[in-house]
Structure 1
Amino acid sequence: MPNPLFYKNVIPLSTEIHKNLKFSTKSQPLGFARDANLIPALVDEFDLALDDLPIAFLPAADVPSAVFVTGLKPGMNVFISKDGLWDGKYAPAYLRRYPFIIGDVEGGDPILCVDDTYEGLNEKEGEPFFTKTGESEETLLRALSISQSYKTSADRTDAFTKMLHEMGLFQSISLDAVMPDGEKTSVHGLMVVSEQALAALSDADLGKLNAAGFLKPIYSHLLSLRSISRLGQQLDMPSVAAEESVPAGETVQ
């Protein structure tokens, strides 16, 4: 399987191999995300981020993926400052989890893994992962808690996007913008929930969405689209607009 976004070499943490490993914050904590204009999003953080980050979806072979739009073209993230910090109200959980991740083991329990290329990992300075007797330190317990919570929410997000996809609620859009230097740019391949398709749902399907707790995140997603202008404000851009890529009422299957 290819590595997830930002992860270069994922390995399981071991009390034997990594008994002396320590964790320290890099000088530019989020510099690794500077070139990412799309960041994975969790359904459980939609309402927390909607005032700051536009939420959209990417088509995939199995189920669509939820993403925060953080830039108007590949290689651009308008929320990462020169100091490698998050310049916004809400920092996505995906960034806060890195460099840790839960790895699935065939026939065994999931295990906490780490990207061992992360510059903040070393054996000289920082917060230790293990005690001298091999017990987990607070740093490791905190990383495990964040990673487990992320995985649980990611599974719920997959269920959310799968249900919306099966109900035919997605439509394609493109984000069109004029850069400060006059360059015109567009972000293609994004999807949003069609309000017309949502309004046309049967009572039975609306009941399914409500029972799953998915109506609130749908409306949070739709409200977040007002934040598209925020992308331009970060760069003092004159205009940013979202346009449908398919006629109104048609959905992407």
Structure 2
Amino acid sequence: MDISPPFGYRDVKALNRIDYVRFPAQGEVPPFVKDTAIVPLSIGEMVSASAHYPLVFVHDSLHDRVGLVAMLGLATGENLFYTASGWKTDAYQPAYIRRFPFCIAKVSASEQTDPNLLVCVEKDYVIGEARDGYRRLLDDDGKATQEWQKVETFLREYQADLERTSAFCKRLVELKLLDPLTATFTQADKKSWNVSGFLGINEGRLAQLGEETVMEWHRNGWLSRAYLHLFSLQRMQRLLHDKLGLSAAASEGLQRQD
């Protein structure tokens, strides 16, 4: 059995009844978060996240699909929301981070992918015996504790939201609404640089959607999410402010490659 770990996870295993799991301490974040400039986001989080992050799309060449992410920094490996004391308290923390060390992963055997998903946990956070700081989540009969019931509900609801996000992204691709997105930053000393590698919705083509498609997008809640994405691009300036530590250090412009 081969389990494909999600982005950022190192090595995961199926959760079973003999496992004792260490939950992250207050303020602790997954190891990969400290050195990443993006984190996956679900469509249900866009309202909360848009107040803090630029929400953009990325192309996953490995799986040939588009995903939604929150930008955490302006350079590879740069996370401007992580500090020595943990995640910035005034910023929304994405569910992808909050679910760690748990996840729901795909399983394959004999080169065939199982359509069912499996609840997994990062191996570094699991031991097979009782120890301070570790919690057993299933009893000898495999019955879930109340604590685990809450975690499992969160994981499954989040997974369902990720599937809704995939449907949204797939429709954006089908309708050719995404363009390469480049942010150009100019500092007070006139030095400028570009941040690229992301995709953004073309507002002009979005406005030209047919009536039937607009109704479909209203029903699915996609139209409002599309404009939340466009609104969130204003947060690029906050990233620059945090990066430079200055209140009015630069100007910023967005360009799309048609």
Of 227, 250, 254, which residue of structure 2 is paired with 1:239? 250
Instruction: Write out aligned runs for 1:2-17 (5 A).
Output: 3-16=5-18
1:1-253 correspondence to structure 2 within 5 Å: 3-16=5-18, 18=19, 21-26=20-25, 29-30=28-29, 32=31, 33-61=33-61, 62-105=64-107, 109-118=116-125, 123-126=130-133, 127-131=135-139, 134-177=142-185, 185-235=193-243, 236-237=245-246, 238-239=249-250, 241-246=252-257, 250=258
AA of the residue aligned to 2:8: F
Q: CA separation of 1:3/1:24 partners in 2, compared to 1, >3 Å: closer, same or farther?
A: closer
Contact in 2 for aligned 1:40/1:94 (Cα 8 Å): yes
- Aligned counterparts of 1:122 and 1:245: Cα–Cα separation in 2: 54
**Which amino acid in the other structure matches residue 239 of structure 1?**
A
Seen in structure 2, the aligned counterparts of structure 1 residues 160 and 76 have a Cα distance that, compared at 3 Å, is: same
Contact 2:4 2:106 in 1 (8 A): no
Residue 172 of structure 1: CA displacement? 1.2
In the TM superposition, residue 240 of structure 1 has moved relative to its aligned partner by: 5.8
- Are the aligned partners of 1:31 and 1:85 in contact in 2 as well (CA < 8 Å)? no
TM-score (norm 1): 0.84
Q: Check conservation: 2:17, 2:139, Cα contact below 8 A.
A: no
Counterpart AA for 1:57: F
Q: Are the structure 2 counterparts of residues 93 and 24 from structure 1 closer, same or farther at C-alpha, using a change threshold of 3 Å?
A: closer
RMSD: 2.8
Deviation at 1:155, TM superposition (A): 0.4
TM-score of the superposition, structure 2-length normalised? 0.83
Q: Which structure has more strand as a fraction of its residues?
A: 2
Could you tell which deviates more after superposition, 69-78 or 165-174? 165-174
3-state SS in 2 of match to 1:204: helix
- In 2: Cα distance, 1:88 partner to 1:166 partner: 37
Shift of 1:108: 7.2
Instruction: Letter of the 2:28 partner, please give it.
Output: P
* AA in 1 matched with 2:255: E
Q: Aligned AA for 2:99?
A: R
